[in-house]
Copies of this chain bind each other. A is one copy, B any other.
Amino acid sequence: MPSGTELGAGHALGRVSGRSIVGGEVPPVQDEAEALRLSRAPGFHAVNPMTGAVMPVRFIDATPEQVQETCWRAWEAFHEIGERPPADRARLLHAIADEIMGLGDALIQIAEEETGLTPVRLTMERERTVTTLRLFGDLARKGDWVRAAIDTAEPSRRPVPKPDVRRMLRPLGPVAVFGAGNFPLAYSTAGGDTASALAAGCPVVVKGHPSHPATGELVARAACRAVTLCGFPGGTLSYLQSGGARAQAIGVEVVANPCVRAVGFTGSFEGGTSLAKAAAERPDPIPFFAEMGSVNPVFVLSGALESQAGAIAERVYGSLTSSNGQMCTCPGLLFLPRGPAAEDLLKRIGEPMNKALPEPMLSARVRAAFVERLAVAQGAKGVQVWAGSPQAGHRAAGEAQRAGEPVLCSPVLLRAAYDVFKRHRALHEEIFGPALLAVLCDGEEELVDAAALIRGSLTGTIWASGTDAALAQRIRAILEQRVGRLIFNGVPTGVEVCAAMVHGGPFPATNAPHATAVGPFAIERWCRPVCYQNAPEAFLPPELRSGNPLGILRLVNGEWTRDAVGKKPGP
């Protein structure tokens, strides 16, 4: 293991152990024999995609015993957390946010080295992460999210008395979180899945992402300090390193563990569907929430095309190249009516692309997938490369990434006629990275048909001016069946954290179209309703007691109120 000196004094990597955090702590090395064993155990190194350099810390894959211990500790913690008032969870979430901020620039620096994302982007992502943690803390404290409903008894009802029935959302149990490669902070260790699970009362087992293990460990340790500080049990949050020979096995072990009661996954279609299968094949299948690939189609109608080509080109280009195209809401398909205005728009998008310098991608694996999918798309008969470099990173075709070299790519614009798009199913799939396929449609019917051809997606966008209204309505009616969020005259990137946000959508964007991964309603993924019939007050959770001690909003005999049961609703 490296010492601080190797890395330069004060470099945060010197504080990284390279080990998993089991039940709140890195298990101490017992003796020399174990130290030797650890040095030979399956492990991995992170790679700096900006330089291609292998980073010095060796991370050790969690052992099967550690996976088991971690899940068991989470299960134990679940029962302890269940007895605590919601305000305690609120304090914990705020404390985690504070501890993450307390990591200071060291966190941004390490995350940059591990992901190649810019400090500006990472600083914004950190802001989003702590905002989300605090949002869920406040949500837990307010308590309305439990959707309490109370129907009071009518003992004199005929033919049978009406019982007293009360229900609320209760936590499912320990939640496993598979962090995202493209969001090392906001959708990883202490991101939205973790924050919403903790707010619901579910301990979290994080399966660390192999491309940013040091970032993950730093955040996990910060979160564990908050856990200790707030007097929560050690099993409240654990972090499993995973990226060596055991990487896939660890994922499956976590999903199959009987103590794990739900899973949140953000990543590839292949990873998501294969782990979802593992969850479904348990003796007791558990809820599995996967956010996977998304093509995020953009429709530009003729009125908008004529009147706003400049603005559309600028915004679409900015959205496409944001974080070098590695956003789940990156626009991948552009549908537009054939004609001079379309040519003008493509020219405006293509020009900056031809000048764009290669930018880092998250990892060699992400780049390899980008190159491969791009080659498939280009190879489809009728697809033309219109701007940018099809050989991702301005390399010669077919040349693979070399170890020790920067992991780069540059944006690409492809184009095809609608009938070409229609024929090739491969063109309907996501190319993760800064690639945009413009599909030129002849007439309105092809634009409408295109909307019907799209697979499930996180977002769909319509650019329309006043003269486009009728066609825009037709496309809206179809597109809304295929997406979680419809954007008008805007771009899909930039997911606002608010109650009305839906970050989800039909398969294959997710495998659970009824859920959102962003915003307060994301908490409902980790819960199920539990009903209490004729329960004495002492057996009811505070949320359901007649006096409403927490003052939450409840549906009492069909009316939403914060009043105690038995009182008349207020004026």
Contact at B79–A151, with CB atoms within 8 Å? no
CA distance A488 to B153 in the complex (A): 13
Contact at A484–B530, with CB atoms within 8 Å? yes
Stretch at the interface among A167-175, A213-221, A359-367: A167-175
Given contacts A150-B500, A529-B521, A558-B499, contact A480 B170 (CB under 8 A): yes
CA distance A309 to B485 in the complex (A): 58
- From the candidates B160, B455, B508, B511, name the one contacting A494 in the complex (CB within 8 A): B160
Contact at B532–A486, with CB atoms within 8 Å? yes
A445 to chain B, nearest CB (A): 16
Residues on the B chain within 8 Å of A483, using CB: 530
The winner among A82, A170, A536 for most chain B CB atoms within 10 A is A536
A23 to chain B, nearest CB (A): 21
Q: Does A358 contact B (CB under 8 A)?
A: no
- For the complex formed by this chain, how many copies does it contain in all? 2
Contact at A485–B284, with CB atoms within 8 Å? no
* 16 interchain pairs, CB-CB under 8 A: A151-B500, A163-B496, A165-B498, A172-B513, A286-B507, A472-B539, A484-B531, A485-B532, A490-B533, A490-B534, A499-B558, A500-B555, A502-B530, A506-B528, A521-B529, A553-B560
Residues on the B chain within 8 Å of A506, using CB: 284, 528
Within 8 A of B (CB), among A296-310: none
Q: Does A63 contact B (CB under 8 A)?
A: no
Bin the interface of chain A by size.
Answer: 35 or more
Contact at A151–B285, with CB atoms within 8 Å? no
A493 to chain B, nearest CB (A): 10
Residues on the B chain within 8 Å of A163, using CB: 490, 494, 496
Q: Does A58 contact B (CB under 8 A)?
A: no
Q: Does A504 contact B (CB under 8 A)?
A: yes
Contact at A534–B487, with CB atoms within 8 Å? yes
Q: Does A423 contact B (CB under 8 A)?
A: no
Q: Does A547 contact B (CB under 8 A)?
A: no
Extra contacts, 7 of them, besides A167-B502, A500-B555, A504-B529 (Cβ < 8 A), are: A163-B494, A163-B496, A476-B539, A488-B535, A489-B534, A490-B533, A500-B531
Q: Which residues of A contact B (CB under 8 A)?
A: 79, 82, 124, 149-151, 159-160, 162-163, 165-167, 170, 172-173, 280, 284-287, 455-456, 469, 472-473, 476-477, 480-481, 483-490, 494, 496, 498-502, 504, 506-508, 511-514, 516, 521, 524-525, 527-536, 538-539, 553, 555, 558, 560, 571
A477 to chain B, nearest CB (A): 7
Given contacts A160-B494, A285-B511, A473-B539, contact A502 B484 (CB under 8 A): no
Given contacts A82-B477, A500-B149, A528-B504, contact A533 B166 (CB under 8 A): no
Q: Please, which residue of chain B has its CB at the minimum distance from the CB of A144? A: B560
Contact at A507–B539, with CB atoms within 8 Å? no
Given contacts A287-B513, A488-B539, A539-B472, contact A531 B501 (CB under 8 A): yes
Contact at A481–B529, with CB atoms within 8 Å? no
Contact at B531–A486, with CB atoms within 8 Å? yes
Residues on the B chain within 8 Å of A287, using CB: 512-514
Given contacts A488-B536, A534-B490, contact A498 B151 (CB under 8 A): yes
A362 to chain B, nearest CB (A): 23
A56 to chain B, nearest CB (A): 35
Residues on the B chain within 8 Å of A494, using CB: 160, 163
Residues on the B chain within 8 Å of A521, using CB: 149, 529
A63 to chain B, nearest CB (A): 27
Contact at B79–A477, with CB atoms within 8 Å? yes
CA distance A539 to B469 in the complex (A): 9
The winner among A150, A531, A558 for most chain B CB atoms within 10 A is A531
Q: Top 7 closest A-B pairs, CB basis?
A: A502-B531, A485-B531, A151-B498, A149-B500, A165-B500, A513-B528, A149-B499
